[in-house]
Structures are given as structure tokens and as C-alpha cells.
Structure 1
């Protein structure tokens, strides 16, 4: 369709400045440069796209269908979605039950404005999710994307302190971690601490967030430290940051229970989150957990905090909430915050047109009921253990693999130039990018979520695997086999 010469031989189509597509063939040494040795062809001058794609120089292949763990492309390729996009497609593609629930909701009511009306499906979803916390969280606020959920959480945290019987208007700041990622909107981006993602927008980001070290044992924990010692040191650092910026000025500390895109599936060591919450309580600040990527069953329990012996004041959820069947995310809110709001103005001064959208709520409710009814969390745990075993068997002794970490069906592999010193590859190598791009080629046809900036937001490479909760053992075997082949070929191509 897009490659008119040698169909299927082009991985992507490059659009140079004159608007004509240039095709980089699979034997190109780099998708990042334009060396003369790359074979190129100019397709029909009329070939273009009215879509502003993520990279204006490339036209992505068209996905025309999907079933289970596979996406079907226009050229006939059967593409193994081993990452669920960005850890989204927790039930895979084309689940009949979820599709039917969406159709039924459309037949009943497709939209109404939440300023005027509520809907039964939104109420049912809220009850399902709050019940799933054992009543520890008492309200749900539904929006459309992870970034929107983080924005809502930040605004709710600020308003909470204004609604107290004795308001605390000086609380305007947040503390997060490096090199975290919490979303792309200006508020969420400012909260995050990922250098490369923030860089173009630094001049217009709010300056009310500071950052502390992550709980990143592979690089942060000293050889001489026990887990308890490491946790104690991080707690002292967080406490010092509260004091530095002014305890009375901080709304909340925000962290991911298992860090996703920024670090590559890094879980905390035991005891870390209770220690961080204790510091927050000492300074009167809220404790917010961002579970947009790692929650809703991805790590083996519906809520990642269930494994951490801690309960957040506010929890953001997304991705696996609706499994990609409709745009949906939200925040779960502790009863103490709800009661404070109720005794105050009772009005959350935040709202959006598609807030609590009935179709999104129907998709989320059907997804969550399916996870429960089909006992998919059991499969996440058992297949997650199998995926971990296979990854460690294949890659633990690999000279360029520094760390393998994760939980459930959420695993990251960090690559290093030197295994002993943990020295990363030079950013110019773009190793994770090449692994991701190689996986897209017809010979492999697999999604490999490659990210850079693992160490400090600039240096470091990791790849994430996040297959659907109903993945089979046979599919995991294929994922690991193909991943191993892709890594081998990329390292050879880069002369490493």
C-alpha cells in the first residue's frame, strides 16, 4: 500500500522536506541518519498523509485488524503485540465480550454531559473499583488519558488543602522522582523528571516540582547496604527535600509503585513505600501513587500498592483500566479526602467534556469484569513467572544486559556497554531505538517498547515487554525467542 516498489521490503517510509516519501530498506545501517549506502526509492508523488504522525518524516504501516495477541497489518503481516502498545492492551485485541458491552452502551446512550447527568455504567464502574480496594478508596473520577488523570490528581491535592477546616493555601508544591514520567500535558510533564521529555518545554513548565532519587536498586543501592539501609537513606533524602522547599508548602509526593517508561519496570525494594508515606505524614503532605502503567492487574494484583503494604491518598489509573478498547483513565480517592471536600465546598473545581464518558466506562467495566471472571490475575502471576524465568535464562549472562527486573507481566531489560562497571551505551548509539525498529521489520513483526534515558533522562537504554493478561505459554516462548534474535541482529549491525 505504502511501498509501491518491492512490497513488504520497507519497514517505514521516510518523508523528506520536499514531501516525497523515501523508503529506508531493512538493510539500512541506521534509521537515524541518511547515509548514501541506504537504498532509497521515491514513491508516487501523491502519496502523503493528512495526519500529524509522531514523526513527520515517517508514514507508519496501517493496522487493519487485531485478534488476541496479534495485530494484522495492511501488507498481510501478523504482528505480535508483545507490549500491548504501551502496556495498554491487557486483554489483547478483539475481545468479544468487551466489544459487545461497548455496542450495547452505544445502543443505550453514547454521551451525556456530566455537569447535567450521571449514567448507570459510570456508577457501576465506580462501585466495582472502590469495592476492589476494600473500601480504602471511596470515590472514582473518570477521564480519558493518563496525563489527564495526573492533572486531576494534582488539582485535587491542591484543593484538598484549601478545603480543610483551617485552609493551607501555601501548599503549592510537589515532590516527585528522577527520571520519572507522569504524562505529556504541561502540568504532568512538569511533575515528571525525565530530562529529554521535558527539555523542549522547560521555559513554559511550572517551577513548583522538585525531584529526589528513585528507588532503583540496580544503580542506587550501595554494595554495602541492606534493603533497610537503602530505604532509610532514601527516606532521609525525601525528608531533607521537604525541609529544603518548606514542609508547609508541599501538596504531595508522587511516585510509581513500579516505574514504567522512565526506568523500565523498576520495582521498589521492600519497605520503601511505607517509609515514604511516613515521611509524607510527618510533613502533612499527601501520598499519591501513579499506577497508570503498572496498575489494574499489570503487576499481578489489581492495584500495585496491594503488594507494598501501603494505601495511597490518591491513585491514578489508566492503560489497563479499559485495555485500549476506549480512551479511559481516572483517579481513585481516599475517603479522608472525600470527607474533607464534602464538609467544605463539596465542589471539585475541575471538569472535562468527556469526563465519565459512558462508552469509556462501559469498556472499562467490561474489561475489569473479564479480568475478574476469567481469573486473569492468576494468569498474570503464573505467566509472569514463566516470562521472568525465560528472560533470565536467555539474558542474565548476556555481556550487554545489566539488569532484568519487573513484576507480573511487566518486565524491563536494561542494556549496558560494560556489565561490570554498568557503563551505559553512548546515547548516540540509540540502542533501544534500533531494537524497537528492528522488531517492526517484517522478518520479526513484534513490538518491543524501547526507551532511552534510563539512568538520568539522557543516558541508558532499556526495553519493556508487557504482553496481555491472557497470554499463553506458547506466545511467551515466541516473544522471548524473537526478542533474542532481534537483540543479536541489532548488536551485530552496530558492530557491538
Structure 2
């Protein structure tokens, strides 16, 4: 009998005992192709000796030193390498233990920034529907997935949510992609004017939406227009790259491809590649200087922030991504995966949209391609796909509620950057079988 509190009390998982490359292996010896990197975490695959040795070496030297008293060499090195490769203007790195901690810290820093600047009336965050920013209360408040928010409603902070940039469903007939991107972004200005821009401290968004919308990419020009609006009204731009960052879309920071730089960025998942729990919030020198010239103290903190062994892992992972030329590989293998998905599912009767960037791909399933009508949520299609794929030895990330938190189903794919062509073939074959099996049972 296990005393572990599982994610689902009626779905007890098998025990993983080892991993190598793109595969995880359970206690029976069964292999699973990790086509989602867990939750877009294992970007280097499993069993990377260089990263493992970096963590072991750090543990031999120094396991822990509380940041209330010390900094550490791996933390300093990781901050240096991140800022050297970050979007222009980002200057400081606040190391934490995961994505929710990073987004929570970002929200609190945005608030303190305005307090330090003498504008305490700025206390509102505007975010987007169908976004996901984490599971702590502040992060969940910013997130726009109604299913995740529903039962915690009385605990959540009052935040605004505008429509996502969701071209497949919200672009109008006759509207160009650029025109739609402009219209979608202008929803931010409309909301600012509705609530009063002087009350808003930040706009928060994922450059490529991950878990809740299935690798949903922005329309051309969308984020440039968002940046313009934020600048016009003095609102901070927080970009959540916890899932889509650290090379996942083909550039180290996903927002590079949209030609914008945030005031605050959040990263995690691929930062540690699963070898240690680590995340980070990066902020501009302007925000940091406001604290220097004000109280001098960020009223926030976590016990394990800046953990030396976690920072050593992050340093090794980012070094591997850059030093092994994995970013060009993500683009090449991402295109190869996209081509295979288009070949297999492009004309599938129940696939409405194929989308994504790099090795971050989404498949939106529909009951009717012509009308884009989703499957009835009672069919539980996403759950059936996940189960069938797992039985076939494939780990993928299907989710329901794609459209509004209740309707819609998608499959998210985020395989390791080291995935080979033969493994891409295996991925698509097993996913095809799983979708067919789930549709037959739906």
C-alpha cells in the first residue's frame, strides 16, 4: 500500500525506474517514448551524463546555502548566462524552484514596483482567457482556464481576462492574419480603458500558449502591438515562458520570434530539464532600480530559491542547449515533426488544427471539420487518448477544455530536443493509433 498522495486517487500510475534518451522505463521493463517531455520539461531527454555530473559535483562541494546569508557560484553563473542570452533590457535573475513560483514572484514584483514608484493604485493584472500561469493562488488568479479556477473562485484575486489570440476559432472570414492579430491585441487597450489604465500594473501572457490551448501561436504582429499598448499606458509586460521557453520553440526565449522584449519574464521546466526543480523570474534594470532607489528590499522569498545544486543543473542545461547547437536542431526536428503530423493528420476527419513552433506542437480535435464543432465534453476524448497512448508506450499531453475551459480537446507534443527521425515516426504512429482507438470509444 502506498502512502503517496497521487494526482488522481482513481488512476494510480506505474513506477518509473529509469530513463535513457527519449524513453522512460517502468518497473516491468516497459519503455515509453516521452513525446511531451513530461510537461515540456525533459528537453535534453533522460540520463544526460553531463548534467548529472554537474549536479553530483556541486553536491560534493556545497549542497545548500540560504540566500538570506549567501550567494553561490552556480547561481551567479546561471544568472550571467541567462542575461547574456536574454531579450534586451532584462538584467536581473531571481531564481526559484518552479514555474508557479516564478509567475507568483513576477506578479508580486510588478505590484511592489508600482508601490515603490509612488503609484499604489496600480493593483490589477490583465491576462488572457485559456491561459495557464501556475497553481498557486496568485498564478491561478492570472490564469484564464475556467475548469482550473472554478472550485477556488472565492480565493482568487480580482483580475481581468481578455480573449486569447486564437486564430483558428476567432479570426473572421475575410480578415487577414495581420488584421486579426491587431484586433486581438486591441482588446487589451479596450480593457485598459474599461477598468482605467491607472489601476493596471501589468499584462501577463504566454508567447505560445501551452497546456490549456495546445501550442497556440500568436498571429503576426500581435505581440508587437501588445508591447505598443503596454508602453502607451505605462503597463508592465510579463511574458510567461515557463513551458514555451528555454529553446522549446527554436529560440532560447520564445518571444524572440515575435520581436518583443518583456519587462518581466518567467522561465522554468526546460531550465532544469527535469534534473533539478528550478525556475527563474527575470526583470529589467528599470524595475530593479526602482527597488534600489526605494526600499531596497523585495518583500518576497522562498527557502530553496537559488539552491546551488539546482542552479548547477540549470547552468549545465542552458550550457548544453547553447553549446551543443540544439536550437537549430529544435527548428529542424520541429519542421520534421510538423511535416509528419500534416501528412498523417492534415486531412483527418476529426483534426481541425495543427499548430505550434519548433518542438512544441498542438493538435486540436473536432467532431466536425467544416463547422469546427468540438466533441461533447461528456465523451472525455482527451482522457481516452492519453490512456490509449500510454498503453501503447507513448507519453503525450492531451487536455480537454481547449476552447473555454469546458469544450474542446487537444494533444500537446513537446519531445526532447534530441529526438531522432525514427522516433518521430514512432511518435506519429503510436499517436495515430491512440487517437483512432479513443475516437472508436468516444
Same fold (TM over 0.5): yes
Match of 2:226 in 1: 276
After TM superposition, give the deviation of residue 280 of structure 1 in Å.
Answer: 1.2
After TM superposition, give the deviation of residue 493 of structure 1 in Å.
Answer: 2.6
Structure 2 distance, partners of 1:476, 1:307, is: 24
Structure 1 distance, partners of 2:189, 2:173, is: 23
Match of 1:330 in 2: 280
1:176 aligns with 2:124: no
Match of 2:139 in 1: 188
Q: Secondary structure at the match of 1:58?
A: coil
Give the 3 Å change call, closer, same or farther, for CA 266–493 of structure 1 in structure 2: same
Structure 2 distance, partners of 1:86, 1:268, is: 21
Contact 1:49/1:59, CA 8 A, preserved across alignment: no
1:237 aligns with 2:190: no
The C-alpha deviation readout for 1:308-354, integer Å capped at 9, x for no partner, is: 01100000001000101000001111122122222222211111100
The C-alpha deviation readout for 1:287-323, integer Å capped at 9, x for no partner, is: 1100000000000000011100110000000100010
Structure 2 distance, partners of 1:487, 1:426, is: 16
Contact 1:404/1:413, CA 8 A, preserved across alignment: yes
Specify which structure has the bigger relative contact order, considering alpha-carbon pairs within 8 angstroms and separated by 6 or more residues: 2
Match of 2:432 in 1: 484
After TM superposition, give the deviation of residue 471 of structure 1 in Å.
Answer: 0.9
Unaligned runs of 5+ in 1: 1-47
Aligned residues: 442
After TM superposition, give the deviation of residue 487 of structure 1 in Å.
Answer: 1.0
Q: Secondary structure at the match of 2:374?
A: coil
1:493 aligns with 2:424: no
After TM superposition, give the deviation of residue 163 of structure 1 in Å.
Answer: 1.6
Structure 2 distance, partners of 1:389, 1:181, is: 28
Superposed, 1:20-39 pairs within 5 Å as none
1:68 aligns with 2:21: yes
Match of 2:150 in 1: 199
After TM superposition, give the deviation of residue 229 of structure 1 in Å.
Answer: 1.8
Match of 1:362 among 301, 312, 317: 312
- The answer to which of 335-344 and 429-438 deviates more is 335-344
Contact 1:84/1:467, CA 8 A, preserved across alignment: yes
Match of 2:323 among 331, 356, 373: 373
Contact 1:435/1:450, CA 8 A, preserved across alignment: yes
The C-alpha deviation readout for 1:66-107, integer Å capped at 9, x for no partner, is: 010011101110111111000000000010000000000000
Contact 1:413/1:463, CA 8 A, preserved across alignment: yes
Contact 1:436/1:448, CA 8 A, preserved across alignment: yes
After TM superposition, give the deviation of residue 236 of structure 1 in Å.
Answer: 2.8
Match of 2:83 in 1: 130
After TM superposition, give the deviation of residue 162 of structure 1 in Å.
Answer: 1.4
More helix by share: 2
Match of 1:26 in 2: none
Say which one has the larger Rg: 1
Superposed, 1:394-473 pairs within 5 Å as 394-441=344-391, 444-473=392-421
Match of 2:332 among 376, 379, 382: 382
After TM superposition, give the deviation of residue 373 of structure 1 in Å.
Answer: 1.4
Superposed, 1:196-235 pairs within 5 Å as 196-207=147-158, 209-235=159-185
Structure 1 distance, partners of 2:36, 2:85, is: 26
TM-score between the two structures when normalised by the length of structure 1: 0.88
- The answer to which of 223-232 and 210-219 deviates more is 223-232
Structure 2 distance, partners of 1:85, 1:76, is: 19
Match of 1:392 in 2: 342
Q: Secondary structure at the match of 2:95?
A: strand
Contact 1:400/1:416, CA 8 A, preserved across alignment: yes
Structure 2 distance, partners of 1:137, 1:229, is: 30
Contact 2:96/2:304, CA 8 A, preserved across alignment: yes
TM-score between the two structures when normalised by the length of structure 2: 0.99
Match of 2:114 among 140, 152, 161: 161
Match of 2:294 in 1: 344
Segments ≥4 residues shifted beyond 6 Å: none
The C-alpha deviation readout for 1:224-274, integer Å capped at 9, x for no partner, is: 111232123223321110111111110100000000011100110110001
1:289 aligns with 2:217: no
Across the aligned residues of Structure 1 and Structure 2, the Cα RMSD in angstroms comes to 0.9
Structure 2 distance, partners of 1:388, 1:59, is: 33
The C-alpha deviation readout for 1:121-161, integer Å capped at 9, x for no partner, is: 10000000000126531110000011110000000000111
Structure 2 distance, partners of 1:418, 1:57, is: 32
